[in-house]
C-alpha cells in the first residue's frame, strides 16, 4: 500500500521510537501465536478470529486492517491478511481450508498507543513442494538483503536494487504495484519503499526514519490481477507468490528491526 495522502518523510522522536518498538514486538508475537494453528483443515476465517481475539483480549492492541479504507477501496473486512499460494497479498480470510502443501503469507498490523507495527511471514502448511520452499527462501533472503542495505546515507534505490537483483537472479519477478511504506502513527506514510530500482537513486536515508520492507516475489511473471472483492491480489499467470515483511528503523550505525520476537526466523547468512 502507499500513503493515502501526500505527507513528508518523518524523523521519529525517541518517544516515537520507543512506542514503535513495542508495537513491532507485539505484531511479531501475534505471528508467533498464530503459527501452530496454521495446520491442514483450519479455515483462514478461523485464523482471523484467533488473531482478532488475541489482539483484543490478550494484547490489548487494535487490528489496524479491520475496516481500513484507503481511497478507492471498500473497508477491509478482517483483522489480518491471509494470502495462499498464488495470492500475492491482501487475501481476505474466508471459508477456504488450508491444506497440506499450501504456502500462506500471514500479514498482521497491530496498533498500540496509537503506533503501528506491521510484519508478515510465510508459513508452510504440512510439507511444501521444493519449488514453493525455494520461492519462500529466496524471498526471505531478498527482504534481508534490502534490510542490510539500510544505513544513514544509503538511498532507497540501494534497497530496491538488491532485492530485485536477488529475486531476478533466481528467475523470479518482483511485483511493482505494491511497495513498503513509512509507518508510525499512520499505517501508511511516506516514503514509498520500492522493491526494485537503481543503486544510488531515490530518497537518502537518515537516522530516525521508520519504514517497512515487504517484497512480493512471483515464481512466474510479475503481472497481477485484483479479484472482484476489491482487495485480493493474485498473480495473473497463477504462479506462486511469496512475501515477507519487517518494520525497520534507520539507526546511526545502520538498522534496527522493530518487528522481532521469540519466534522470528533466524536471518539468512550474509
Least distance to ligand MF3, CB of residue 14, Å: 25
What is the footprint of ligand MF3 within residues 45-64 (CB under 6 A)?
none
Least distance to ligand MF3, CB of residue 211, Å: 11
Angle separating helix axes 44-53 and 14-34, nearest 10 degrees = 140
Applying CB under 6 A, does 65 fall inside the site for ligand MF3? yes
**Which residue in this structure is represented by grid cell 484467533?**
50
Angstrom distance (rounded) from CA 144 to CA 202:
19
Under 8 Å between Cβ of 131 and 219:
yes
Angstrom distance (rounded) from CA 190 to CA 188:
7
Applying CB under 6 A, does 90 fall inside the site for ligand MF3? yes
What is the footprint of ligand MF3 within residues 233-262 (CB under 6 A)?
245
**Cβ nearer to ligand MF3, comparing 43 with 101:** 43
**14 CB contacts (<8 Å, ≥6 apart)?**
none
Give the three-class secondary structure for 221.
coil
**Cβ nearer to ligand MF3, comparing 187 with 270:** 187
Applying CB under 6 A, does 68 fall inside the site for ligand MF3? yes
Angstrom distance (rounded) from CA 86 to CA 82:
11
Applying CB under 6 A, does 1 fall inside the site for ligand MF3? yes
Least distance to Co ion, CB of residue 187, Å: 8
Q: Which of 261, 259, 267, 217 is nearest to 109 (CA)?
A: 259
Least distance to Co ion, CB of residue 190, Å: 13
Eight-class DSSP state of 100 = T
Under 8 Å between Cβ of 139 and 167:
yes
Q: Which helix (H) or strand (E) holds 173?
A: strand 173-174
Which of 26, 31, 81, 167 is close enough to bind ligand MF3 by CB under 6 A?
Answer: 81
Which of 16, 29, 118, 256 is close enough to bind Co ion by CB under 5 A?
Answer: 118
Q: What cell was used for 47?
A: 485464523
Residue 68: name its binding partner from Co ion, ligand MF3, none (Cβ under 5 to 8 Å by kind). Answer: ligand MF3
Applying CB under 5 A, does 158 fall inside the site for Co ion? no
What is the footprint of ligand MF3 within residues 118-177 (CB under 6 A)?
118
Residue 76: name its binding partner from ligand MF3, Co ion, none (Cβ under 5 to 8 Å by kind). Answer: ligand MF3
Applying CB under 5 A, does 189 fall inside the site for Co ion? no
- What's the Cα-to-Cα distance from 84 to each of 21, 43, 138, rounded to whole Å? 29, 11, 17
Residue count at the site for ligand MF3 (CB under 6 A)? Answer: 13
User: Which residues of this protein are in contact with Co ion, per CB under 5 A?
Assistant: 107, 118, 212, 245
Binding site for ligand MF3 (CB under 6 A): 1, 65, 68, 76, 81, 90, 107, 109, 118, 212, 214, 231, 245
Amino acid at each position: 500500500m502507499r500513503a493515502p495522502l501526500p505527507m513528508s518523510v518523518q524523523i521519529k522522536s525517541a518517544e516515537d521510537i520507543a512506542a514503535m518498538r513495542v508495537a513491532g514486538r507485539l505484531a511479531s508475537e501475534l505471528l508467533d501465536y498464530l503459527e501452530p494453528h496454521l495446520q491442514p483443515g483450519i479455515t483462514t476465517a478461523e485464523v482471523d478470529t484467533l488473531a482478532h481475539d488475541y489482539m483484543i483480549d490478550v494484547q490489548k492492541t487494535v487490528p489496524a486492517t479491520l475496516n481500513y479504507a484507503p481511497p478507492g477501496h471498500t473497508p477491509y473486512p478482517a483483522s489480518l491478511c491471509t494470502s495462499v499460494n498464488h495470492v500475492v497479498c491482501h487475501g481476505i480470510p474466508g471459508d477456504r481450508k488450508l491444506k497440506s502443501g499450501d504456502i500462506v503469507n500471514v500479514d498482521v498490523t497491530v496498533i498500540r498507543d496509537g503506533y503501528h507495527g506491521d510484519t508478515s511471514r510465510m508459513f508452510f502448511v504440512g510439507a511444501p513442494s521444493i519449488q514453493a520452499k525455494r520461492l519462500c527462501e529466496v524471498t526471505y533472503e531478498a527482504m534481508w538483503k534490502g534490510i542490510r542495505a539500510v544505513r544513514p546515507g544509503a538511498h532507497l534505490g540501494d534497497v530496491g536494487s538488491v532485492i530485485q537483483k536477488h529475486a531476478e537472479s533466481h528467475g523470479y519477478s518482483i511485483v511493482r504495484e505494491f511497495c513498503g511504506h513509512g509507518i508510525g502513527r499512520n499505517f501508511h506514510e511516506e516514503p514509498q519503499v520500492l522493491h526494485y530500482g537503481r543503486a544510488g537513486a531515490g530518497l537518502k536515508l537518515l537516522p530516525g526514519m521508520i519504514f517497512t520492507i515487504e517484497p512480493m516475489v512471483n515464481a512466474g511473471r510479475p503481472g497481477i490481477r485484483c479479484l472482484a472483492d476489491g482487495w485480493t491480489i493474485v498473480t495473473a499467470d497463477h504462479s506462486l507468490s511469496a512475501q515477507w515483511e519487517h518494520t525497520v528503523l534507520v539507526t546511526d550505525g545502520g538498522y534496527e528491526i522493530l518487528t522481532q520476537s521469540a519466534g522470528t526466523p533466524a536471518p539468512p547468512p550474509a
